[in-house]
Amino acid sequence: MRVSKAQAQANREHIVETASVMFRERGFDGVGVADLMAAAGFTHGGFYKHFGSKADLMAEASANSLARSLVSAEALSVQDFVDVYVSRDHRDGRATGCTMAALCGDAARQSGDLKSAFADGIEQTLQTLGEKYPTRPDAPPGETREKMIDLLARAVGAVMLSRACPDDSALADEILAVCHAQMTASISSES
């Protein structure tokens, strides 16, 4: 039975969304095409009607989830971003959390297309947060960008380090608490 173009597009979007969740939960290497398609409700053979390769899907799913995270970040102040991002809820929500915290380590070992999707997502996040950052009137050019790179790297790193510890580890919570406090202090010093 033939599928309409609209239905084929809807199916593709569903596969991308399913992949986005599964990749964040299990990592790129932890998700096979057959498992992914079964989770999306399709047969394994249908995958290649939508994507040239798993690498193509990885790049598209990453770009999609990075864009969704950006939409969420746009609604937050920089402090609210830190409060939401550097938290136990985010740490424990791998499948629904930030793609950067879930997959940066994996992305470093992937194709240029995937790295480009991450670079674009990181750049957009830096710009979005930079527009909201409380800057001193006498701040030198480029200072806000430097502070946003530092803030984003600390936020992502805090979540990654916390996730690397056992779930009930005091160290996992300590990492989040210390990083959150330090980031909050640095934001407050700018206001």
**Residue-by-residue DSSP string for 16-68:** HHHHHHHHHHH-STT--HHHHHHHHTS-GGGHHHH-S-HHHHHHHHHHHHHHH
- CATH number for the segment(s) 5-188: 1.10.357.10
Residue 66 and residue 24 in contact, taking contact as beta carbons nearer than 8 Å: no
Domain spans in the chain, listed from the N-terminal domain onward: 5-188
Render pLDDT for 158-189 as a digit per residue (tens, 0 to 9).
999 999 999 899 999 999 999 999 999 998 87
Kindly report which listed range (18-32, 36-50, 130-144) carries the lowest average pLDDT score: 130-144
Report the C-alpha gap between 17 and 7 in whole angstroms.
Answer: 15
Mean pLDDT taken over the chain: 92
Read off the tokens for 164: 């690397």
Longest dimension (CA), the chain: 66
